Structure formats: structure tokens, C-alpha cells
A and B are shown apart, each in its own frame.
Chain A
Amino acid sequence: MTQQEINIEVLRYNPEKDSEPSYETFQVPFSHETSVLQGLQFIKDQLDGSLTFRWSCRMEICGSCGMMINGVPHLTCSAFLRDYYPGKLRIEPLSHLPIERDLAVDQTDFLQKLESIQPYIIPKETRSLEDGPFKQTPAQRERFYQFSECINCLLCYAACPQYGLDSGFLGPAAMALLHRYNSDSRDAGQAERMPIVNAQEGVWGCTLVGYCSEVCPKGVDPASAVNRNKVSSTLDYFFRFMAPRGASE
């Protein structure tokens, strides 16, 4: 295997010691299949054990290892050093989120937002286990499935300019998951979730940049979830305030 070397510049920040972040460069050997994550692991194993970042599954499904690579949000397990060579890489923590240490960001805000959208089936009918599964045709499943593929990696939050300006904005992933439950044929929770959608910090905060969908590693397309919710929100408003009582049923 041919081994080359590449420079990786990483953001360092230790809240116990540093008043502000700085950058440090490491030289890392790589071969054709070396991921950016493996580059960071090499630094931690061999050069500086204090470099701090999250990782786990290595296969784009756990959502732990999102970072900014040369300014672009990306999962580091599925980005490869070869694609940046002979240039260098600058690795930074995901934008718009508070840094805990080095490349690890605080995920609490997203987790609270996720909880706020009631991300569970609010059933249409009471159904016991003895009644067996709900019927759901492939077409019905198709209506929400894409939005259920969100791995909560937060790349879309790092991409979203609106979230950067106002962290109160519900944001792409939480909106996509809200839409996922609202669109599920087994669910009847839309009315309970609509106040979140309608709020200033809900769907109307989105300024339609669409960068969230571009960076999503799973093709979830949060931007389209937001847009579909704008339609729902408008209809909701119409039926509640403009149309005669009962028209929405």
C-alpha cells in the first residue's frame, strides 16, 4: 500500500485552560481508504492523546462524528483524506453549536428540540397488541419514510444560517422528524404538534436556503419537510381563523 502524508489542522479548545480556540497542525500518513476520522484517530493514538472528538460506528449511521471539514459540515467517517490531498484539511467542530472541547460540541439544544416535537406515535385508535400490527401500505409508508432516516448528526444545524442567527429556531432535523410523525398513517398527533410548527421559531423561521438538504448524509431533505409544513401551517391558520367552524374536519 502506498502511504502519503497530509497536513491536518484541527481546532483546539480546552475550557479548563484556554480563553479562546487555537489551531494545531499534525502530519498524518494515509492510504487510499483512510477516512478523515481515521486520520483523527491516528493523531489521538500516536501523536496527542488529548485531541478530543466523538466517533462510534464508523459507517455513517450513528451520527456521532460530524465536523466541519474545510468549512463544510460532513461526517468524518465517510470523508476520505485522499480527496483533500495535496491540499490540507482544516477540521473544526460543527458550526453554530457551543464547543465542549476541541471538536466535540454540545448537543443538548437539539435533544431538547427533539423532545419538544413529541417524536412518538400519538395513536389514531387504541389498538392492543393482540390486534396485531396496523396496516400500512408501501405507499403510506413512503410518505414519511425518508424523514425517519434522520440520524441526528446535526450537520443540518451547522449548515442552517437561520439557526446560526437564532438558536431558538426549531431547525431542520427536528422539523423533519415532526413531519415524519405527522405524515405517518398511524399517527393522529398533528393538531398537538401544530403550535410548534406555527410559532415564529417554527416553520416560518426558515429562509429557504436549502443548504440543510445539501449537507444531509442520508438524503432526508429537511428543507422539503419545512416547506410542506409551511403549507400545513397556512392551511391550519386558514381553517382555524378564516374558514367556518368545523370546515377542517
Chain B
Amino acid sequence: MKSLDEFVALFAEQLDETDPSSVTAQTKFRELDEWSSLLALSLISMIDEEFDVALKGDDVKNSETIEDVYNIVVSKI
């Protein structure tokens, strides 16, 4: 099981334009300039690959911070 920090790092890898060091568990990812529905698709793919968890569109919509997403992933494992 990956830790929250590892999850944040994996999340940051999906981003192209945001400095990874500025991304934390408390980052409100949907407020990032580069956040888009395409990134949401990459996020779903990454979570499937790394955690074998099927994240739904609503899970992304209902999350505010990266930690919120992590908690949903953990609850589905």
C-alpha cells in the first residue's frame, strides 16, 4: 500500500506545467491552472495502474484536495 506522500508524488507526475515541489496533499487540484478533463482521465488511468482501483468521474468531482482522492482510493482497495 502506497503512502499519502507517494500518492502526491504520483499525482504530481501527471502534471506538465505545475512545479511538483508545490504540490502537496492539501493542494486543491481542480484549482490548478492546467487542470482539465484530460488530466482527470490521466488520473483515472494512473490510479487503475498503481492501485487497481476504478475511480469514477463523481469521485474526482466530489474531491477537493489530493488527500481527498487518496482517501477514496484507500476506501476502495
Genuine A/B complex: no
B residues with CB within 8 A of A: none
